[in-house]
Amino acid sequence: MANNIDFQSGPRIPLTMLSEDEGLFRESCRSFAERRIKPLVRKMDDEARLERSIIPELFDLGMMGIHVPELYGGGGGSFFMSVLAVEEISRVDASFGVFIDVQNTLVNNAVMRWATEEQKRSHLARLTKGTVGAYALSEAGSGSDAFALACRASDQGDHFLLNGRKLWITNAAEADLFIVFANVSPEQGYKGITAFLVERNFPGFTVGKKEDKLGIRASSTCELILEDCRVPRSNVLGEIGKGYKIAIETLNEGRIGIGAQMVGIAQGSWEYGAAYSKERKAFGKPLAEFQAIQFQLAETATRIEAARLMVYNAARLKDAGQDFLKEAAMAKYFCSEVAEHVTSLVVEIYGGYGYTKDYPAEKYFRDSKIGKIYEGTSHMQLQTIAKYLLK
């Protein structure tokens, strides 16, 4: 069965695109995904939960603090290397792909950029050694309109009391540290939004229902409930009233990670489809010998390569300190389109088997859909792109 094929080669990336260290890191991520995660993928999807025993191994391998400076316990790598890890893990399992993506491109990024030195030394040391983080912005009434927050923070002097609910929070079931956005001054609109570092054990904080999802089922997506949750003033991330700036700038970086996740999904799905086309026979010969199938595989492989280059370009720009917002939006938009297109086509290559859980095609298809929704819908990406083009 194609489901059992073990791919060792993967996409042929030009040597000039990856340094030696990046190439070795990429191969180590791929090897780990094949060896440890791949045998558990179906079980995790069926049970809708991550295999907890894998999480400490991710920390031990440095995948949860890839571009955190060594001073704070991280790997001292680049943002680009974080993108490579997300792509390679997602090629095997998108749920673990987004697990490390949120940790690296959202949580670690926000703390590195906005935290005080004391907060960095305290929290980054934990986030690189065993503490899972989550990023809590979305609410029932604030999705694309991210700043229509109903969550409130009441200033009590030495602490704040947070009240409200957060929805669709990735990694919530596993996390012990949450970056929670709440409005300190609702009358000021988005200018009152503030980011807080909230510990799981803070009184008044509860992780609620886990969503039963179409795709990335093993990834936890939960509601957060804050009822007079007491947060010390020292746990404000950045400045009071600057939460909107933290959210926007962090999500811009996070979108590159989602693009990488979509590239990984598309690549993994394509590899299974190509292998199956060589095994399955029709009219006395393998499907791969029919020009229609050859053209479909060639066309989708070309789209995947274009998507990959867009992600890599955005990540390189970010590492170089150059403007990357348009490129990040383009990558996120295009990669989610490619992932949905490729995975849908692979289901069709499998035929009736593609519609069953006996083969991996349907899972890749289900996992791809989220790419057009979270961390900014495709329509929001197009709006961002248009603004930059029409300046």
Shortest CA distance to 375 belongs to which of 235, 224, 221?
Answer: 221
Q: Could you give the C-alpha distances from 28 to 74, 86, 88, 236, 264, in angstroms and in order?
A: 17, 12, 9, 37, 15
CB 255 within 8 A of CB 376: yes
Alpha helices in 240-324 (DSSP H): 243-279, 291-319
Write the CB contacts of 73 (distance below 8 Å, at least 6 apart in sequence). 65, 124, 125, 128, 129
d(CA 342, CA 365): 8
Tokens representing residue 205 in the block: 């904080």
Complete DSSP assignment for 136-165: E--BTTBSSSTT----EEEE-SSEEEEEEE
d(CA 97, CA 117): 29
How many helices (H) and strands (E) would you count in the chain? Answer: 13, 10
Give the CA-trace dihedral at 143, 144, 147, 151, to 10 degrees: 0
Contact call for residues 194 and 236 (beta carbons, < 8 A): yes
Q: Is 117 a catalytic residue?
A: no
Catalytic residue among 139, 253, 337, 375: 375
Among residues 58, 152, 71, which one has the least CA distance to residue 98? Answer: 58
Residue 363 tokens, joined = 């899972």
**Active site amino acids:** 375
